Amino acid sequence: MSASPSDPLPLARDESGFGSASLRSLEFAKGEPLRPKRVLFFGKRKSRTKCTGALVDALRAEGMHVMTINCSMLRRWIGSLGMRATVRLIRMVYRPDLCFVFFHDLPPLLMEQFSGELPTVVWMEEQTAHTDSSHVDYVRNVRLLCLSTPNLVRAYRSQGVRNATFLMSGFSPRFHRPIGNDVRKERDIAFIGGPGAMGDRPGFLAWLSQRHQLTLFGRRDSWLPYLSRFPELNWCTEVRPRGYARACASSSIILGLNQSHDSALYFSNRIFLTLACGGFHLTHYVPRMEEVFDRGVHLDWFESRDECVERIEWYLGHPRECKRIAEQGAALVHEKHRYQDRVRAILQMLAKEEPLNCPVGEIETHENPFEATILGARTPLSPLWQLSKASGACQD
């Protein structure tokens, strides 16, 4: 079966062929160090952000043999019963020593079985609102739960998911990179993304569109309800990686807006994609952003509508500053914020070479670094994600 090597496949693929190790239930409940070699990866194809393909590439770059399965596509082809039987057969033949799940892309029934028999990592990089019992039950037995929202690390741990850790989102230079400096600027401001399920992103963008030329790039069906409500909005098209890079190159400013701006150290993946593509990024501030990026060096931010307009007007009059900042922002993320950097951190945690992270609460570390509790006070930054300031001066 043929498919793009960068994305999870309709069925499954392993670039190394089937393995020879016997299938067994690994005794990982005690938290022994784990150094996996054969990974069974579950994820939908993410045609816009390429998150799943980037994670698969990163695992392979770290020496893993990876087989990918797209359960949603299998279900459409052969139904739920056929999908579950096929996935179990693939697992039995492939004999993985690690299961890696993107968000909820392994159905709950299989997740319950696999996470009880195999060390399992779950990657959730966009869940910012809350936890509920179904989320908690889904990840109850995982070896590692990776969250890009530090507040959710505390929330999951408080509900018994002790192996939750903070890891920011990232990007892959294979998919997101600058396309060159000779692209003509076609617009003042661009926003790339959807309207969001929380907050008033469409209202803010409509307000700003009355003052400056602003173009929206995103899925038309998600923006359609707002285009009639806010006639000021100027929707252009949906973009995939190449189009994302072109939008960054042809826009003087790429505006950044999370759905919520009160969650410390949470960044939409757009911040990494924009910087990786060489865009000048002006984004809404989130608490402790200065611990990751230097203002006026890698990007800039605002905290109010008036400050947003003030910053826009200044930067539109200083294109050389935009170019300088965009180049330094791109250099930073290409050095420190690739998905391969995140996967390397995951492997270090699985091997017990690095502790888990929870940067919004003080962590009491026991003899086993995977056994930690939150005490509620702020903790010093972990070496895994603390960034050096010397280099420049975390959604579809």
If asked whether residues 331 and 259 sit together in one domain, one would say yes
Q: How far apart are CA 120 and CA 28, in angstroms?
A: 10
If asked whether residues 332 and 353 sit together in one domain, one would say no
If asked whether residues 349 and 373 sit together in one domain, one would say yes
If asked whether residues 204 and 320 sit together in one domain, one would say yes
How high is the pLDDT of residue 373?
32
Per-residue pLDDT of the chain (396 residues; tens, 9 = 90+): 334 444 444 444 444 333 333 333 333 334 689 999 999 999 998 877 889 999 999 999 999 999 999 999 999 999 999 999 999 999 999 999 999 999 999 999 999 999 999 999 999 986 555 677 888 999 999 999 999 988 899 889 989 999 999 999 999 999 999 997 778 999 999 999 999 877 789 999 999 999 999 999 999 999 999 999 999 999 999 999 899 999 999 999 999 998 888 888 998 899 999 999 999 999 999 999 999 999 999 999 999 999 999 999 999 999 999 999 999 999 999 999 999 999 999 999 999 999 998 876 543 333 333 333 332 323 333 322 232 222 232 333
* Full strand arrangement of the beta sheet holding 98-102: 65-69, 38-42, 98-102, 120-124, 144-147, 164-166
How high is the pLDDT of residue 268?
87
If asked whether residues 161 and 216 sit together in one domain, one would say no
* Full strand arrangement of the beta sheet holding 235-237: 235-237, 214-217, 187-192, 251-256, 281-284, 300-302
If asked whether residues 213 and 355 sit together in one domain, one would say no
How high is the pLDDT of residue 48?
78
Q: Which residues contact 297 (CB under 8 A, 6 or more apart)?
A: 325, 328, 329, 392, 393
* Alpha helices (runs of H) in the chain, residue ranges in sequence order: 51-61, 71-94, 108-117, 133-138, 150-158, 201-209, 220-229, 241-249, 269-276, 305-316, 319-336, 339-350
Say which CATH number the domain at 12 has.
Answer: 3.40.50.2000
HSE value, Cβ hemisphere, 13 Å, CA-based, for 101:
25
Q: How far apart are CA 213 and CA 190, in angstroms?
A: 9
DSSP string over 50-92: -HHHHHHHHHHHTT-EEEEE-HHHHHHHHHHHHHHHHHHHHHH
If asked whether residues 314 and 344 sit together in one domain, one would say no
Instruction: Extract the tokens encoding 367.
Output: 């003899």
Domain of residue 147, residue span: 1-170+338-388
Domain contains 181: no
Domain contains 394: no
Instruction: Name the domain boundary from 296, 312, 336.
Output: 336
pTM above 0.75, yes or no: yes
If asked whether residues 350 and 300 sit together in one domain, one would say no
